Structure 1
Amino acid sequence: MRLLCGYLLYLIYILCNKWAHSTALEIPEEFQKSSHSNNWAVLVDTSRFWFNYRHVANVLSIYRSVKRLGIPDSQIILMVADDMACNPRNPRPATVFNNAHQHINVYGDDVEVDYRGYEVTVENFVRLLTGRLPPGTPRSKQLLTDEGSNILIYLTGHGGDGFLKFQDSEEVTSQEMADAIEQMWQKRRYNEIFFMIDTCQAASMYEKFYSPNILAVASSLVGEDSLSHHVDPVIGVYIIDRYTYYALEFLEKVQPDSDKTMGEFLEVCPKRVCISTVGVKRDLFPRDPYKVPITDFFGSVRPVEITLTGLDIEAPPLVQNKSVPVATTEKTSSKYHQIPLFPSHLFVES
């Protein structure tokens, strides 16, 4: 019996080893490998008032997409300047829709807003990025990134040539944005950044960037307005912006194991449907966007380590520290998971 148990455990080890190698090979060989070990998202809606309903729908739609593709709430910073779900003008309380046909309630049951209302300020935003937060700041309000972090930064609101307004009372300039990211680079707070902004004259916000490893996309060029998509007659206001609408149409077709690339994503919303001209800045980004999986920024990398600790068997050594993308919806850290080799624990949901 003892010999049989040992034999079964050895078979399990072989199967698990094959599974680890096959999973690691799922990414097509033509993709350029990233050296990042974890993914974060900073999603910011900077505007207030009921007529800006669409900006809340924008940011919550991106929030829903990155959660669906595996980034947990513990690694998402969500900043919403106005709570449209609870606005007294909302005829459908506790809901926010990004389509007049009400296909998806992007507010849902598990939205975790980290900065709400008057907490959404330029100072808090810059402090968040640079890590210069007051002592005692809760972990949920901190961007706990490191030199292995890929960060998606998404901004939506009202802007102009070289600035983005925060709640119609202050603004962050393109130079301040560039300097904040440079501080992040100097303090080793990121590996790569994908900067995405949907506002009028959006491209002006990335023109001053000078730090390495940044890929940026904007919904409009300097001198152009970024337009909304359609009105919901029930609530009487525009419900989503045009660029984000088509970006989400693309993201809804992406799965955690998708072979879609960032290059393909940069092509969403051509001028015939966007009306404004989508701008792209790639000179600071060394990798070819068409060889970068979209999940490098919109998904999650979860390093997995397989171990034989506690098992008294002889077996060839495993290849350690294979990083494989694993979808998750729970709050977990990016530390390695120890997977014991027993039949009921062969595959652990992170």
Structure 2
Amino acid sequence: MKFGAQIALLLPLLATLPFVSAQHTSNWAVLVSTSRFWFNYRHLANVLSMYRTVKRLGIPDSQIILMLADDVACNPRNVFPASVFNNADRGLDLYGNNIEVDYRGYEVTVENFIRLLTDRVEPDTPRSKRLLTDDRSNVFVYMTGHGGNEFLKFQDAEEISAFDIADAFEQMWEKKRYHQMLFMIDTCQANTMYSKFYSPNILATGSSKLDESSLSHHGDNDVGVAVIDRYTYYNLEFLENNVKNASSKHTMKDLFDSYDIGKIHSTPGVRTDLFNRKLDEVLIMDFFGNVQNVEVDAEGDVEKWKVDAEELSRLAAKITMPGAGCAKNATKSGATVPSPPDAQKILAMKVEEKTSPIRNAIGVCALGACAAAWFAATLLGKS
């Protein structure tokens, strides 16, 4: 079968394929503990647990922004120096040697958080402190600390409101800084913090409803304080037991369905009205893991691809059957349409052209002129 005929057969099939619209090409995580002081140990453990999880599932440190007071690991009251644990068995050191803190101590402010999201940072800000996302980036924002009705405290010095976060996310959307977003927050009255969101493609979840506290899970007698909060603990339990690697097919619906008020001791909430996908079609890895996809054409126009494929199909058909273009006219005039072999023979004869005597004479003259020029140049060079 000729190559043109193969194209003619394949392209109509390609035109009918269900082309997938442009998808996200990177995952980013912004992880924030807004507390400080030793008695808020559990908030640090919360955010470091999420940090470990997204790294385990493939998001590199270059795409994780970690904001925390970082005053616990080396606190004089810590009987396990340079270590942070989220369980009384102390089987896993969350601090370890591979932690990269991007905003530390008094850098964790409301202003810096909003500037980070909206990319309104100083020109000399290093890449490690910037959220370098675009309209093909999925962003996971996790926050934990002390809060109340539509506010979250930052280091006992200031507060961020639900309106502040909602407006920051809207700026991100207007500036094409995210494709889809997962907002997760573990604090008292957490669900009020996403009540003011109005930007598209945001999926939000929180640990407790209005007038309800978010409680700690358990403490460590040797550490002397609670080491993790309940809501975060049961999210991690599901992720550790079910999402073991990047090939996991578990969805966000699976995660949300695992929430048990009897275990969490508060009422977790989920807001989906701004989100444009069904939860049972959204993989957990869409936010918690790495992305290997590469987008070739940023436009992702499905209809344009189909039209182009159909046009190529028609062109290939004409190349394969050269007589097809005039077949209709020939039939109308009563002429006989040649068979494909005849058509190929006619084309072959058109390609062959006999050389005329005049063209031969012109060629000889041209060669003679070139030879004379070369000879003259040689004589001049000798003289």
Structure 1 unpaired stretches of 5+:
1-28, 306-319, 322-350
Is the 1:221–1:279 contact (alpha carbons within 8 Å) kept by the matching residues of 2?
yes
Deviating beyond 2 angstroms after TM superposition, the runs of 4 or more aligned structure 1 residues are none
> What does 1:1-350 correspond to in 2, within 5 Å?
35-253=23-241, 254=243, 255-303=245-293
Query: 1 or 2, which has the higher strand percentage?
Result: 1
The residue identity in structure 1 corresponding to 2:264 is C
1:302: how far off?
1.8
Q: Could you tell me how far apart the structure 1 residues matched to 2:253 and 2:80 are?
A: 38
1:34: how far off?
7.3
SS at 1:301's partner residue? coil
Q: Could you tell me how far apart the structure 2 residues matched to 1:268 and 1:165 are?
A: 29
Is the 1:47–1:82 contact (alpha carbons within 8 Å) kept by the matching residues of 2?
no
Decide whether aligned partners of structure 1 residues 33 and 230 sit closer, same or farther in structure 2, where only a CA change above 3 A counts. Answer: farther
Is the 2:152–2:160 contact (alpha carbons within 8 Å) kept by the matching residues of 1?
yes
Q: Could you tell me how far apart the structure 2 residues matched to 1:244 and 1:67 are?
A: 16
Query: 1 or 2, which has the higher helix percentage?
Result: 2
Q: Percent identity?
A: 63
Structure 2 unpaired stretches of 5+:
1-17, 298-383
Is the 2:37–2:71 contact (alpha carbons within 8 Å) kept by the matching residues of 1?
no
Over residues 32-82 of structure 1, what are the superposed CA-to-partner deviations in whole Å (9 max), with x where a residue is unaligned?
Answer: 987111000000000011000000000000000000000000000000123
Q: Could you tell me how far apart the structure 1 residues matched to 2:191 and 2:273 are?
A: 14
Is the 2:59–2:290 contact (alpha carbons within 8 Å) kept by the matching residues of 1?
yes
Decide whether aligned partners of structure 1 residues 33 and 276 sit closer, same or farther in structure 2, where only a CA change above 3 A counts. Answer: farther
The residue identity in structure 2 corresponding to 1:97 is F
Q: TM-score, normalised by structure 1?
A: 0.77
1:94: how far off?
1.0
1:268: how far off?
3.3
Is the 1:201–1:225 contact (alpha carbons within 8 Å) kept by the matching residues of 2?
yes
Say which is worse superposed, 76-85 or 190-199, in terms of deviation: 76-85
Q: How many pairs does the alignment contain?
A: 277
Q: Could you tell me how far apart the structure 2 residues matched to 1:89 and 1:172 are?
A: 30
